[in-house]
């Protein structure tokens, strides 16, 4: 295709300082192949950009005509609504930190064990395929007051009454770990596999013990991947909705932003307020991502391999 294009060109005239416009376009990767992104672009405009812009505009048109920022003022002055930010953080932050921190050692252990890696992948991917609701149903039976866990705990005498594992923020956190950990693990594993194992061997021959190798070689090389993974799992956890309603206490400590938005939209039919809550959710997520990526850029962010090997 590109060779056709160049063959069809007229013979080159006297050399000029400016390359021809076709060459300049091609140099920037603009050619007919670019049409292939058209369907995706259309999709993006219709299903993402338009609804987002619509929602943002709507959020500035409160139903009580209290002015441009009315919904936002209301959100931040209402302790029940304002508290959702704190609730969401206290669920999303521990869950995503746990997911990332627990994924690192497992990924490191799996990096050279291809066979067990496959088994672990299957074990971990299954909960993703089952969907949040099914997992939540399972957890209701498993962690409930009369579920296996509590019956075993009481049976061996560790507690005399059932532990309140559900219908509070712990239930939501457990569910977020079950669904979020596989993502974190698979992502971290791919970053770990990108580190040349010769780095570790080199550090060993230079006298570095296991913990020195981890903290001075592996962790710095892995840190960009850890930051990315944290951002993704955090965003997933921050917009938690189904498990917050099914496993949490949606009017108490798991009254998260998504629940508040849903209540506004479908109980009070206040779409502008729901939009405002969604915009606030997005802004908080973006702030968090900005902080994490800002920290990341202060760490090493280049290639994880040297040489031509």
Residues within the interface to other proteins (CB under 8 A): 196-199, 201-209, 212, 216-217, 220-221, 300, 302-309
* Angle ∠(222,224,225) on CA atoms, nearest 5: 65
Task: Considering the complex, state which of residue 91 and residue 222 has its C-beta at the smaller distance from other proteins.
Answer: 222
CA separation (Å) from 24 to 10, 18, 27, 30, 212? 16, 9, 5, 9, 50
- Give CA angle at 283 (221, 246), nearest 5°: 90
Judge whether 272 and 61 are in contact, CB under 8 Å: yes
- Give the residue with the Cβ less far from other proteins, 186 or 199: 199
Secondary structure (3-state) at 146: coil
Supply the minimum distance, in Å, between the C-beta of residue 308 and other proteins.
5
CB of 288 to other proteins, least distance (A): 25
> 280-284: long-range contacts at Cβ-Cβ below 8 A with a sequence spacing of 24 or more?
280/72, 280/75, 280/85, 281/88, 281/238, 281/239, 281/257, 284/85, 284/88, 284/238, 284/257
If the CB atoms of residues 87 and 213 are measured against other proteins, the closer one turns out to be 213
Q: How far is the CB of 121 from other proteins (least distance, A)?
A: 23
* Identity of the residue, 139 or 222, whose beta carbon is nearer to other proteins in the bound complex: 222
By beta-carbon proximity to other proteins, the closer residue of 19 and 220 is: 220
Hey, what are 107's tokens?
């990924």
Please, what is the minimum distance in Å from the beta carbon of residue 277 to other proteins?
Answer: 41
**Both structure tokens of 151:** 């019956």
**Minimum distance from residue 192 beta carbon to other proteins (Å):** 15
Q: Least Å distance between CB 100 and other proteins?
A: 20
> What stretch of H or E contains 82?
helix 79-110
Identify which of residues 197 and 294 has a Cβ nearer to other proteins in the complex. 197
């Amino acid at each position: 295709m590109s060779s056709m294009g160049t063959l069809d060109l007229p013979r080159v005239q006297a050399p000029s300082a400016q390359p021809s416009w076709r060459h300049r376009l091609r140099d920037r990767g603009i050619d007919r192949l670019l049409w292939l992104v058209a369907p995706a672009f259309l999709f993006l405009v219709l299903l993402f950009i338009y609804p987002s812009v619509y929602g943002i505009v709507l959020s500035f048109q409160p139903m009580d005509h209290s002015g441009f920022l009315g919904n936002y003022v209301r959100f931040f002055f209402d302790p029940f609504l304002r508290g959702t930010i704190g609730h969401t953080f206290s669920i999303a932050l521990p869950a995503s930190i746990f997911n990332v921190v627990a994924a690192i050692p497992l990924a490191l252990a799996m990096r050279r064990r291809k066979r067990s890696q496959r088994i672990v992948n299957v074990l971990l991917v299954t909960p993703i395929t089952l969907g949040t609701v099914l997992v939540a149903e399972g957890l209701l039976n498993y962690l409930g007051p009369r579920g296996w866990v509590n019956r075993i705990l009481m049976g061996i005498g560790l507690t005399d009454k059932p532990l309140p594992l559900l219908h509070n923020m712990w239930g939501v956190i457990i569910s977020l770990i079950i669904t979020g950990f596989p993502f974190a693990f698979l992502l971290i594993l791919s970053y770990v596999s990108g580190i040349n194992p010769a780095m570790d061997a080199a550090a060993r021959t230079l006298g570095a013990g296991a913990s020195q190798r981890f903290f001075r070689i592996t962790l710095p090389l892995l840190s960009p991947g850890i930051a990315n993974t944290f951002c993704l799992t955090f965003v997933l956890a921050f917009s938690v909705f189904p498990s917050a309603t099914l496993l949490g206490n949606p009017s108490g400590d798991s009254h998260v932003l998504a629940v508040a938005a849903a209540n506004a939209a479908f109980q009070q039919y206040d779409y502008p307020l729901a939009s405002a809550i969604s915009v606030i959710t997005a802004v908080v997520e973006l702030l968090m991502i900005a902080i994490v990526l800002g920290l990341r850029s202060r760490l090493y962010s280049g290639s994880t391999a040297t040489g031509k090997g």
